Structure 1
Amino acid sequence: MLKIGCHLSSSKGFLAMGKTAVSIGANTFQFFTRNPRGGAAKPLDEDDIAAYLKFSEEHELQPILAHAPYTLNACAADEKKRAFTQETMADDLRRLEHIPGSMYNFHPGNHVGQGVETGIKFIAETLNAVVWPQQSSVVLLETMAGKGSEIGRTFEELRSIIDMVDENNCLGVCLDTCHIHDGGYDIAGNLEHVLETFEKRLGLHRLKAIHLNDSMNPLGSHKDRHEKIGRGSIGMEALTRIVNHPSLRTLPFYLETPNDMQGYKKEISLLKAIYQAE
């Protein structure tokens, strides 16, 4: 069974997200832990969480993917910004303990002129401060397109971060198809080589989730502009291979395409139709 969902608004709570997911044919979903541009998280609603957990079990909605706010930068030059990132991520992970088996995704950060080596060191310091051995959530570093001073464009950069984290058994990777395409990995023309490189640099056991997006830009553009499924430079044929690949087909896929709910519903139906049952 294809595990597929999209990004949903968390403003009305977990149960509402779960019901929205089911209404559009999804069996998982992604959400922001708080306003994506910053701000405090809403207080936990224990009744809503209890109702959601029951609903989730009935509809097999796990695993869901929490996404950290875009404003966080674990390798900012400003120490106060790094401290804010650490505090926010720690709070997010504590809150996610109320929903066992969930995952937490974040953009590694921008080194803003400090250099990749310094940026990687700061990101690892943040992760060492926020992860703990018994946590139930897996923390995912997202593959990036490499625009500006982004860290995480290459598998080697992600591996360097992971190697510096003491409790790295809590870490995994979320592969964004638009990002790695724009970053220079030819998933449309040579998927096997990309996955072989991932296995060599990171190990496919680290790959826990996929952001399934087409791209508005050509291979290696470093632009990060998502496109609807089958309408971009990656294309429907390549995306079909991705969702059916033996190393990927059992992973959860999360759409971040430029859509409203009806658009997501159509894409989810399309992807289910091209998914080949074993």
Structure 2
Amino acid sequence: MPAKQSSTTPTTPAAAAAAKKPGARKLAAPKAPPLTAPITVDAGDWTGDGAPLGAHVSIAGGTWEAASRAREISATGAQVFTKQANRWVEREIDEAEATRFREAMAETHVRWICAHDSYLINLASPDAPLRARSVESFRAELRRCHALRLDALVSHPGNYMDDRGSGIARNADGIVQALEAEVGPTRLLMELTAGQGTVLGSTFEEMADLLGRIPAPLRARVGVCLDTAHVWAAGYDLVGDYDGVWQRFGDVLGFQQLGCLHLNDSKAKLGSHLDRHELIGEGTIGGDVFRRIMTDDRLAHVPRIIETPKGDTPAETDGRMLRTLRSYAAC
């Protein structure tokens, strides 16, 4: 059994690996270019995006600076953090910041925006103080998203630590508490996981169980985010049984639940339960799967966000990934 967690240590494997996640680089994010700067990054033709397509972009300098970074890569969709993802410190977003954010985004081609919540949150924890802190942090995440009028908040299911069934129940109860307390326009999207350790939500059936515990009046405010690297690591063979995986998703969860795709190749093997993102077409999943996703009618209107490694030149690397995906869609 894993060691008991404290409120100052990572609460999930996702938290422990957060330094490898988008927006959590050790190096400071490059300064955002002015909104009026010429676009020099070749990210492909954004006008052909049938569904919003973009990347996780940094909010360094202020939430509104995400707009410049999204514009720089000709994004039509974007994902952000609304605070530092690896700190418990919460903050509120006032109307001045929210207005500045929305006005900046209006100067871009972005038409769909989500946030990813803090990696420290663990609504499934059996540690009462940690779980209470997680619920409060989760509520604060929702408040910030509502204030910014974001389309969605992506959240990982928690780490059950003791008993899986009890963890699912605690996770669902935490979601219900937060949704009842924080009402607004942002839809909650629970992200399928790679299944490392005692993390919940790595199978379609377990995610369906979690969502099924949410009362019907709240269920319309909740959906699913599918990360290609996660489901691959969880054992869903997108390479060898692409149609079978999506058939199972439709049968168990339903395509109406799918609110976002995280398009990431993987450094990890099929079924390894390791969450290791790779550049599109350069990992163990390979380009053909992403080509199929970009031309799959079942997914035609689902926003898609990349969380691939950024290296030392985030805009250029993200631009190359978006250009690749747009080229797949044009085939």
**Fold match, TM over 0.5?**
yes
CA displacement at 1:45 relative to structure 2: 4.8
Please state if 1:80 is matched with 2:129. Answer: yes
Give runs of aligned pairs for residues 232-271 of structure 1, distance below 5 A.
232-259=283-310, 260-271=314-325
Deviation of the 1:53 alpha carbon? 1.7
* 1:158-213 CA-partner distances (Å, limit 9, x unpaired): 11111111111111000000000000011122221111111111111000001100
Structure 1 counterpart of 2:166: 118
Aligned-CA RMSD value? 1.7
% identical aligned pairs: 30
The one-letter code matched in structure 1 to 2:267 is M
Confirm or deny: 8 A CA contact 1:25 1:269 kept in the other structure: no
- Superposed displacement of residue 48, structure 1: 3.6
Higher mean alpha-carbon deviation, 121-130 vs 98-107, is at 98-107
After TM superposition, give the deviation of residue 98 of structure 1 in Å: 2.0
TM-score (structure 2 length as normaliser): 0.79
Gaps of 5+ in 1: none
Whole-angstrom CA distance in 2 between matches of 1:80 and 1:243: 44
Query: How many angstroms does 1:268 deviate by?
Result: 1.1
* SS class of match (1:97): helix
Is the partner of 1:105 in helix, strand or coil?
strand
Q: CA deviation at 1:148?
A: 0.6
Structure 1's consecutive aligned runs of 4 or more residues displaced over 4 angstroms after TM superposition are none
Q: Deviations over 1:34-53 (max 9, x none)?
A: 22212323442533421332
Cα deviations by residue, 1:76-119 (Å, 9 ceiling, x for unpaired): 1201111111101111112222233520011101111x222111
Structure 2 residue ranges without an equivalent (≥5): 1-47
Is the contact made by 1:186 and 1:219 (CA closer than 8 Å) also made in structure 2?
yes
**In the alignment, what sits opposite 2:140?**
91
Separation in structure 1 between the aligned mates of residue 118 and residue 183 of structure 2, nearest angstrom = 24
Of the three residues 229, 232, 243, the one matched with 1:192 is 243
Shift of 1:244: 1.5
Q: TM-score, normalised by structure 1?
A: 0.94
Corresponding residue of 1:147: 196
SS of the equivalent of 2:64 reads: helix
SS state at 2:220 partner: helix
Match of 1:130? 178
* CA spacing shift, 1:204–1:4, aligned 2, 3 Å: same
Aligned residue in 1 for 2:38: none
Matched residue, 2:214: 165
C-alpha separation between the residues in 2 aligned to 1:157 and 1:192?
20
How many pairs does the alignment contain? 276
1:26 alignment partner, one of 75, 82, 106: 75
